[in-house]
Amino acid sequence: MMMWWWILIPVVLVLGVFLYNGRNKQNTLKRDNPIDILDNRFAKGEISKEDYKEQKRTLSSKN
C-alpha cells in the first residue's frame, strides 16, 4: 500500500506543473500589433483596398 503513494505523489505533482504551465502560456500569448491586424483583415476580405490603404497610412503616420 505504501508503494502506491510513492507513485501517486510524483504523478500528481507533474500533472499540476503541466496544468499550471498550460494556463500560464495562454496569458502570455503574443499580441499582434495594429499593422498585423490590419493586414489580416485585408487578407480575409473584411475591408476594401481603399480602406486598407487609408488605415495603413493613418497607422503609419502615428508611429
Say how many CA atoms lie within 13 Å of 63 toward its Cβ: 9
| pTM of the shown model | 0.50
For the chain, domain boundaries: 1-29, 31-63
User: 55 near 47, Cβ under 8 Å?
Assistant: yes
One digit per residue, the tens of pLDDT, for the chain of length 63 reads: 677 778 888 899 999 888 887 665 555 556 778 999 999 999 999 999 999 999 999 998 865
Cα separation of 33 and 24, whole Å? 21
The closest of 3, 1, 2, 63 to 33, measured between CA atoms, is 63
